[in-house]
Structure 1
Amino acid sequence: MPSYDWSNRTVKICGNFYKISEQWNEYDDDQEEWMAHPQGDIYYIVMSTVAGEDVSEIAESLTDAQISSIRRQATQTLE
C-alpha cells in the first residue's frame, strides 16, 4: 500500500471551505485505487463544526493567501 498524506486529503475535502458549516454533516466520495474497495463509496460524517467565525460571510474579500491559511488551519483542527 502506498504511503498517503492524510492532510492533503483533508484539504481536498475542505477545499471548498464554505461547506464547513453547521448544516454540513456528511460527505461522500469514491475510494482511491489503492484502497480496499477501489471506486467504492466512502462516507465521512462530521460530528462537530470547526470553532470560529463563519468565513462564508467574508469569503469574497479574502486573498488567496488568506484562503490558503484558513484551509491549513481547518486541516490541523480536523486532524
Structure 2
Amino acid sequence: MAVLVYFWHDFLDIIIKGLSRPFTKEGKSLWFIAIATIPGALFGVLLDDLVEKVFWEQILLTALVLTGFGIVRYLTDKYSKKIVI
C-alpha cells in the first residue's frame, strides 16, 4: 500500500498513457506489467493448496530461511560500496 501511495502519480501516468497511447514508452510499460503478472497469477491459482500445505507444515524451515536471507541482506547492505546516483 505504501508503494502505491508513494508512486500513485507514476502509476496513474502509466495507466493513462497505456490506454491512450499504447506505443509510447509509458504505454508499453502498462502492457508489459499486465503480461508479466499472468504467470504469477496462474502459478498462484494452480499451486495455492500445495504451497499453503508445504509452508504450514514446514513453518520452522520457512522462518529459518527468511531469517537467513534477512541476515544476508543486512550484511550486503552494511558492507557493500555506497554508490550515490
Larger-Rg structure: 2
Identify the structure with the greater helix proportion. Answer: 2
Q: Normalised by the size of structure 2, how large is the TM-score?
A: 0.23
- Structure with the higher strand share, 1 or 2: 1
The higher-RCO structure (CA 8 Å, 6+ apart) is 1
